[in-house]
Structure 1
Amino acid sequence: MSRELLSSKIVVEEEEPRVRGIPSAPTSVAGAVGLAERGPIGQAVLCTSFEEYQATFGGFTPDSDLALAAMGFFEQGGSHLWVVRTAHYEDASDPESHTATRAAAALTTGGGPTPAIVRGTLRPPFTLADDQRLEVSVNSAEAVDVVFSGAAASVAAGRPGPYALTAGQALRVRVDDGRDVFIPFHEGDFDDMGQATAQEVAAVINAGLIGGRATVADGVLRIASDTQGASSRLEVGDEVAGTVFGFPGGPQVGSGNVQSLRAVELAEVRALVEAAVAGVRVAPSSLGALQLLTQSTGPGATLRVQGDAGPGLGLDALPHTGDASGATDVLHLEAKDTGAYANRLEVEVRPSTNSAPDTFDVLILEDGAYRESFPNLSSSEDDARYVERVLNDERTGSSYVQAFMVQPDALPDVQTVALSGGEDGLVGLGDADFIGSEAGRTGLYALDEVQELSLLLVPGRATPATHNAMVRYCEVARDGLAFAILDSPAGYSTTDIVSYVSQDASLEGLSEHAALYWPRVKVLNPARSVFGNVEQLVVPPSGIIAGVFARNDGARPGGVYDAPAGIEAGRMFGVLGFESKETLEEKKRDVVYPHRINPLTTGPGLPRFIDGSRTLKASGNFPFVAERRGVSFIERSLKTGLQFARHRNNTEGLRAQVRRSIAAFLLAQMRNGAFRSMEPAKAFFVDVSDALNPPSVIFAGKLVARIGLATNKPAEFIVLRVSQDTRALEAELASAGL
């Protein structure tokens, strides 16, 4: 900003740059969904090495290709792999409905009187309804009510219908922790769009909204979250919401004494029951189910739980009494992660190392081998070595188990207990468990939070439903900025894979945002104790292919523009052979390649390599793998780098700055080999002219730029034309005048 100078001096003034630098987006951040030995379910976790993968998700398992794919990805040169562990879900839209369970056990003490106990049969989370209650009677006293409540966040339109809508308008809705969803209105959805009824609008909203629902009462439109409880959130906002419907602005919040009635946690039950009912404790059983215990012990201790919330919590309505003597649970232990792996764990209790009174040592064993030791623990919450505090510490606690005190201040006997009841949740496993749900953020949609995702694989789940869902996720959910690597189904011959692509899965011609590779490959058996005493394993190649992509991307600036195929760029390290020997025959490869299937092969003196660079769609704008991925890289980089222009006044100066910034970025990409020409005028063009930005576009709040790219095409076929050299004969004839 200029200012009046009152005396002679040197003044430094900073000006906004005329050209903004656009940073390059990452190109080989991969996401994989599959089965794992352990680890969180339905959460994307970043692994930057195979050792990191093993630390979180465990080792190899006979029913999963995910660990093998992760190993192949990192061996080829990959460095960023987001992993999502899945299991069977009873309802994919409910992330808590997976059927995997944690192994558990209980440390006990014996000989003394026991409390009255009501043992539940269900593990949390629990599903309840609003205003359901428990009626808890302790030691024959009058029953005390414990009420569970939860109301959904909702919002009502400020005026009844009809509503004056115009084509192209959209209503922005955000439910709970989900993304903004824009519900578009089209003329075909209404008898008269200018007089749209509340019922018609509700039908359109319900067709496009996940996790919430629109209803109509007394002619007034209302939208509510499906979640009932304090965690429920709903926001309906933008100009259309306010001016057309009269929805109030700002987020609406649910209410209740639990976060969600569809997923009530044991800690919530404990807090409500123990606050309302004197003389009762709530704790998990040795199998992780809910149980209620009296603080008093012996035959005089009685406990009865009735009420309509009891069945939902797995509690019976029978009277229970304590005993004069018997074993009592002191400390509940459960595995850190769900899965059958934890059934191999044991917990040993020994007398304290320092022989201090009222303390004990806890040791963790896996397959009979000692893994962890925690000395001098106490059952007193006031002690610095309180067993819950030590074992559950996120940084220094156990990597295998977590502990919950059941009987305060009681000491466990010297004993060794084995964890049991862990399940991987594989019964009933289907495509839907890998595909997942956008509302529940399960399966593929658990990767929504990974903003830089550029590669997608589901190792070993080569089915039509999964493959089509992967393509749809990359093209629609990720706006075409991610690329799916599809495996061939196991055991497929040349004719099998052609039939699969062209008919069974209808992949041929489907999308340029995916490529399929055939056949599966052979690698050295990394774990004979898991896979048996065989030298080699047949594995799906997607993890290896993704690693090859990553290696090429990082080989040089602009590596993403190089086709990941051929004996150099397409070389697959560690691959020992192929599931089908047909891929070694050129005539067989000539059968699959026209169907957009990329064969993996080798030849005399050659490495095993990728022998194809085609996407599934020949008629797309960018039908080759490197071409499509290169354009996606440019699009992602521009999308991020042009954020500076949002919400600024749409002037000629801004448009010129946008044009120069795009051109400068594309010039750098040209020098990195992105285009067919090294002359800017032939390599690309950028148009932000007035013709693209007339007043109608500017008044609509838009700035339009048109970009043309002369992308590279790979040399798929090398044609050698060989003929007899007759130049000397022709010269002799010419000299003779013939």
Structure 2
Amino acid sequence: MPVNPTYPGVYIEEIPSGVRSIRGVATSVAAFIGTFDRGPENEAVRVLSLSDFEREYGGLTRDSEASYAVQQFFLNGGSEAWIIRVGHPGEEDAIPALTAATAAIADLAGGTDLLDVVAGRQIRGEPARNPGDWGNFLRLEISHNSNAADATFNLGIKEVRVDGDRTSVVRQEVFRNLTMAPNTANNAVEVVNAGSLLVQLAVDDAFGTVDEEDLPEVTGTLGGDLAAALPALSAATAVTIGVNFGGAIPNIAPVAVDFDGAGTPASHAAFAAILQERLRATATDASVPVALRPYLSGIVVTLTGEGTTADPRRFHIQLGQGGRPLVPAAVLVFAGGDAGAFGLDTPTFEGPLQVEMGGGNNGGIVDADGVYLIPVASFTGNAGARTGLYALEDVDLFNILCIPDAPRIDTANNGALAVYSEALAYVTDRRAMMIVDIPETVTRIGQMETWLGENANLRSPNTAVYFPRTFNLDALNQNRPRSFASSGTIAGLWARTDASRGVWKAPAGTDARLRAVRDVVYAMTDSENGVLNPLGCNCLRQFPIYGSVCWGARTLDGADQIASDWKYVPVRRTTLFIEESLYRGTQWVVFEPNDEPLWAQIRLNVGAFMHDLFRQGAFQGTMPQDAYRVKCDAETTTQSDIDNGIVNIEVAFAPLKPAEFVILKIQQIARRADS
């Protein structure tokens, strides 16, 4: 009611309905832990497509089973995954550590290091290392602005690909009008760190105090001091230009630059524009060597300096713009009678075309026997530091965990079992499932039986294993077939089945075809299938017409001898789905008055959620009372419970179980002959 009605009239009061709808959570969000070509280390990053994965983690990598598993997940119907990259810390066996590429940018005035650069990007406001040798292919280009009232500069960042003697740009970022002045809108460190996907900047610790007068050293060719007045330009102006590659490849002989009709420049900046235009126009001249044309056609000319006696203006000329071929060691060489008047005959700085980043290392990954040289601790991580497996603590929800690289970890000391054992405890706490992969050496029925015996500790309602591994076409080896772990393929199949039929449908049968799978490693018979199925091992089969299909839907707790309630994958996953949905959907109950009005609201909301699942066909029974039950009243919550602040909610349901065995009974009907 209104708190204090004061006048005669009508008052309006809004009364809550008591309906708090419960929304079902996602059921097929996958998490992959493994080694990748690039990406932040020990950070969980969400990817929503194969293109997202390729952009963030570099796509497929020969030594990474996890990269192929992620590809299979999306090809088989997955739509959301979290990726955690791990690597070798470089603390044992003299194996190189997983390190990020770095570079230093010098100060223009003193030549000391002004900026430190590291490959990586910001995640949630914190710099994240992006280790790996991919960062060694980053190039930095710096130019100064000629007309700015204050000291500003531009930073270009290029990721290049080298194919033999050909270099091309695959990704590029440009940040303009940057300043080193602290507490300003265009501060270089703040702008680049917030906007770049490739690098992070920091002022070098040894540089000292930074102010707006500090500028990074430019890249390219920096001319000498310019005269106060420039001479008139004409066809007779004798300036020629060539390219010196520093001995890497033959130099390009200088060619003449035509200034016919240019007249006298009104300013140094005007001449900079004229010089750039004429240099680019020279590229189309038939007399210009073919090797020089790509460099001239993309040239950029700017001015540097404040135009004072202490800091006279100079030309800054850069090659290779606009995606043209890049040669880091190349510098421009000018000659001719008038070159000195333009400050082009004796350049004070002949720097590299770009600053190259280096030092990035993928670490020691796989030895000659195919064993991962990455310690178990890199995968299991540290709960306090949220590394490895525990990086998933930053993830709100995931349902399926895959560690495809695990079977190759420290095989001599049961490294895979150690990783899977810790992961099993974690997924159980998070109400998720884990798909266990088998080693590449397990290729026969007897070997699989032995593996099941040696890994009996992994038998749990929250785990499932599939035999055999699959043959997929390896895009990095001319599409030749290669044996791969099946967890990514199965996780995608689970996601596809959830989307089309619901989590209560077994992800198996002739509809459960394995996409992008050419064959299975071992083609088993029905009798061999009958050996593994009672042991809780799901089989992947190859059938005519249907191709490769999943032919099993049991958890590792589903061995016949165990007689578990959680024998089947769909039953367990449906239960986890209901548990997680109700856990999230009943948070509002906490601290509510614990009496019949609350109990009635709980029955209403939980009952509505369960009835919606019943209508979708998630339970057995033709009537709601046969399919599910929700109870919350004085019988479930006694006065003692109320005194202790407890409300008990009982939810029961009749799960659908797959028709695993179809028995046809055929009988002849004996009939007497008509007389």
TM tier, smaller: 0.5 to 0.7
Please point out which of 593, 605, 611 is paired with 2:533: 593
Aligned to 2:168: 369
Tell me the alpha carbon deviations over residues 405-464 of structure 1, each in whole angstroms, 9 at most, x when there is no partner. 575445255214433222234465122221222222122211122222211111231322
SS at match of 1:685: strand
C-alpha distance in 2 between matches for 1:359 and 1:693: 70
Aligned to 2:116: 332
Aligned to 1:525: 474
- Following superposition, the deviation at residue 346 of structure 1 comes to 4.5
The 8 Å contact of residues 498 and 592 in structure 1, kept in 2 or not, is answered as yes
Aligned to 1:541: 486
The 8 Å contact of residues 613 and 625 in structure 1, kept in 2 or not, is answered as yes
Please point out which of 551, 571, 575 is paired with 2:517: 575
Aligned to 1:419: 357
SS at match of 1:332: strand
- Following superposition, the deviation at residue 661 of structure 1 comes to 2.2
C-alpha distance in 2 between matches for 1:379 and 1:90: 37
- Following superposition, the deviation at residue 717 of structure 1 comes to 1.0
- Following superposition, the deviation at residue 600 of structure 1 comes to 1.0
Cα distance 1:598–1:507, how it changes in 2: closer, same or farther (>3 A)? Answer: farther
The 8 Å contact of residues 519 and 600 in structure 1, kept in 2 or not, is answered as yes
Please point out which of 638, 660, 667 is paired with 1:723: 667
Pairs within 5 Å for 1:649-668: 649-668=593-612
Cα distance 1:637–1:499, how it changes in 2: closer, same or farther (>3 A)? Answer: same
C-alpha distance in 2 between matches for 1:669 and 1:721: 34
Cα distance 1:720–1:347, how it changes in 2: closer, same or farther (>3 A)? Answer: same
- Following superposition, the deviation at residue 605 of structure 1 comes to 1.2
The 8 Å contact of residues 101 and 136 in structure 2, kept in 1 or not, is answered as no
Cα distance 1:99–1:534, how it changes in 2: closer, same or farther (>3 A)? Answer: same
Question: Can you give the 5+ residue segments of structure 2 that lack an aligned partner in the other structure?
Answer: 121-128, 162-166, 208-213, 219-348, 366-372, 408-415
Higher Rg of the two aligned structures: 2
SS at match of 1:333: strand
Counterpart of 1:500 in structure 2: which amino acid?
W
Cα distance 1:534–1:621, how it changes in 2: closer, same or farther (>3 A)? Answer: same
The answer to whether residue 341 in structure 2 is matched with residue 399 in structure 1 is no
The 8 Å contact of residues 41 and 131 in structure 2, kept in 1 or not, is answered as no
RMSD (Å) for aligned C-alpha atoms: 3.3
Tell me the alpha carbon deviations over residues 235-255 of structure 1, each in whole angstroms, 9 at most, x when there is no partner. xxxxxxxxxxxxxxxxxxxxx
C-alpha distance in 2 between matches for 1:409 and 1:666: 66
C-alpha distance in 2 between matches for 1:91 and 1:628: 41
Counterpart of 1:487 in structure 2: which amino acid?
D
C-alpha distance in 2 between matches for 1:725 and 1:11: 81
Aligned to 1:482: 432
Cα distance 1:708–1:363, how it changes in 2: closer, same or farther (>3 A)? Answer: closer
Question: Can you give the 5+ residue segments of structure 1 that lack an aligned partner in the other structure?
Answer: 93-97, 115-326
Cα distance 1:696–1:349, how it changes in 2: closer, same or farther (>3 A)? Answer: closer
- Following superposition, the deviation at residue 692 of structure 1 comes to 2.5
Cα distance 1:421–1:599, how it changes in 2: closer, same or farther (>3 A)? Answer: same
Counterpart of 1:411 in structure 2: which amino acid?
E
The answer to whether residue 429 in structure 2 is matched with residue 429 in structure 1 is no
TM-score, with normalisation over the residues of structure 1?
A: 0.61
The answer to whether residue 460 in structure 2 is matched with residue 511 in structure 1 is yes
- Following superposition, the deviation at residue 607 of structure 1 comes to 2.8
C-alpha distance in 2 between matches for 1:647 and 1:426: 54
Pairs within 5 Å for 1:291-370: 328-336=112-120, 337-342=129-134, 344-347=136-139, 349=141, 362=156, 364-367=158-161, 368-370=167-169
Cα distance 1:615–1:330, how it changes in 2: closer, same or farther (>3 A)? Answer: same
The 8 Å contact of residues 614 and 624 in structure 2, kept in 1 or not, is answered as yes
SS at match of 1:554: helix
Aligned to 1:101: 99
C-alpha distance in 2 between matches for 1:346 and 1:451: 34
C-alpha distance in 2 between matches for 1:666 and 1:692: 19
- Following superposition, the deviation at residue 470 of structure 1 comes to 2.4
- Following superposition, the deviation at residue 81 of structure 1 comes to 0.6
The 8 Å contact of residues 379 and 411 in structure 1, kept in 2 or not, is answered as no
Aligned to 1:314: none
TM-score, with normalisation over the residues of structure 2?
A: 0.67
C-alpha distance in 1 between matches for 2:194 and 2:5: 61
- Following superposition, the deviation at residue 465 of structure 1 comes to 1.8
The 8 Å contact of residues 472 and 518 in structure 2, kept in 1 or not, is answered as yes
Please point out which of 706, 709, 717 is paired with 2:653: 709
The 8 Å contact of residues 39 and 338 in structure 1, kept in 2 or not, is answered as yes
Please point out which of 441, 444, 458 is paired with 2:403: 458
C-alpha distance in 1 between matches for 2:176 and 2:628: 71
C-alpha distance in 2 between matches for 1:393 and 1:696: 57
Aligned to 2:576: 632
- Following superposition, the deviation at residue 388 of structure 1 comes to 4.1
Pairs within 5 Å for 1:57-456: 57-89=57-89, 99-108=97-106, 328-336=112-120, 337-342=129-134, 344-347=136-139, 349=141, 362=156, 364-367=158-161, 368-370=167-169, 371-372=171-172, 374=174, 380-381=180-181, 388=189, 392-395=192-195, 397=196, 399-400=198-199, 402=201, 404=203, 408-409=214-215, 411-412=217-218, 414-415=351-352, 416-426=354-364, 428-456=373-401
Aligned to 1:685: 629
SS at match of 2:489: helix
SS at match of 2:194: coil
SS at match of 1:714: coil
Counterpart of 1:435 in structure 2: which amino acid?
T
SS at match of 2:543: coil
The 8 Å contact of residues 48 and 81 in structure 2, kept in 1 or not, is answered as yes
Cα distance 1:536–1:658, how it changes in 2: closer, same or farther (>3 A)? Answer: same
Aligned to 1:613: 553
The 8 Å contact of residues 632 and 648 in structure 2, kept in 1 or not, is answered as yes
Counterpart of 2:632 in structure 1: which amino acid?
V
Would you say how many aligned residue pairs link Structure 1 and Structure 2? 496
The answer to whether residue 613 in structure 2 is matched with residue 669 in structure 1 is yes
- Following superposition, the deviation at residue 47 of structure 1 comes to 0.8
C-alpha distance in 2 between matches for 1:577 and 1:517: 14
The 8 Å contact of residues 193 and 200 in structure 2, kept in 1 or not, is answered as no
Aligned to 1:290: none
- Following superposition, the deviation at residue 4 of structure 1 comes to 11
Aligned to 1:467: 420
SS at match of 1:485: strand
The answer to whether residue 435 in structure 2 is matched with residue 497 in structure 1 is no
Counterpart of 2:358 in structure 1: which amino acid?
S
- Following superposition, the deviation at residue 704 of structure 1 comes to 1.0
Counterpart of 2:362 in structure 1: which amino acid?
D
C-alpha distance in 2 between matches for 1:106 and 1:6: 74
